[in-house]
Structure 1
């Protein structure tokens, strides 16, 4: 039993009123008043003031207790709500992190991060490639502008170690790191193609070229 309910009950019994009789005078349900006396419900100040007049008892001290109880309850609620919001936010963050991944944008060295893009994950892969192997490559020159690949454009790429078929690749050769179109000629020979306005080709031995990544898609800058 709460202090509020106990004081109301004592004042009622001292006045010789039943719960039903007092409830009728206060204009509340008998069950409600009974729960207030048992401490299951907190009586508002208006009810306490009215009860004080009916019972001819000074219930001002009770009013202060009730106000403090309500205030403490409100403070408790205010503290709990942000906590629930934080927990909810963390749940959503975890949920989105499981379907989206921040894919880095690198320069040719693959050591300088220029930015990132959010991409969806499907079956632990991004566009059918292992999610830890994909990245974006910022084009550093206009040596491939004949293929509409200009400096500042961004290409979606994935790390590879060898060339299984023709395509556009980031490679190391002759002490340089470049993007080139590569065609497999057979007999361990490759045809490297660049186009900065005019087509240039080089025939290289497979062992002379270190393959770093294959470019799959170009995103142009307007």
Structure 2
């Protein structure tokens, strides 16, 4: 190989090395950018009923469906760090709504809005049918009554098969059944927060058997029965007149 050929070969090798170096740097930068684009996902593990002042509330952090340790979980000036399972615990001294943040260098932060309560109470709804059973007929308005501990519940939803009504201040609601059959009627009410206390309502159900509306055949039978009774009375009266 002559001198010019060696120079060309050397130049080619240098160019390849330069491109390889830039490729390595670019790949490293791309990897770093991809890592930075991973977004933390912060979940609250503690059930809503247990999110109470001075009680531990548990959090879990993942990124791309993998648990992440050494993540700082914080609100106001209170913080905790996730363990190897991605879990951390915070305690809240006051009731209210708080923004909790998860952050770690190289990741995008995540936040959740968390309601903390002074106390939580589970209330069991009760539902009863107050329309007389003889009127449980298709096409009729039937009245239901919803209570908790014998107290009327207002603004509860009473429903079946997509048909619903809302209870009034007396705990009453009216539904109409267009077809005969057996139906399950449900009473439910959304959670309420009053003075930082959470009230959770447990659904109640009742089954009702709706009868068909008496048809033309039944009416004919009734008319025939009345006619027969009238005929018997007429014959009886005639016999009494003949005896006299």
TM-score normalised by the chain length of structure 2: 0.25
Whose helix fraction is larger, Structure 1's or Structure 2's? 1
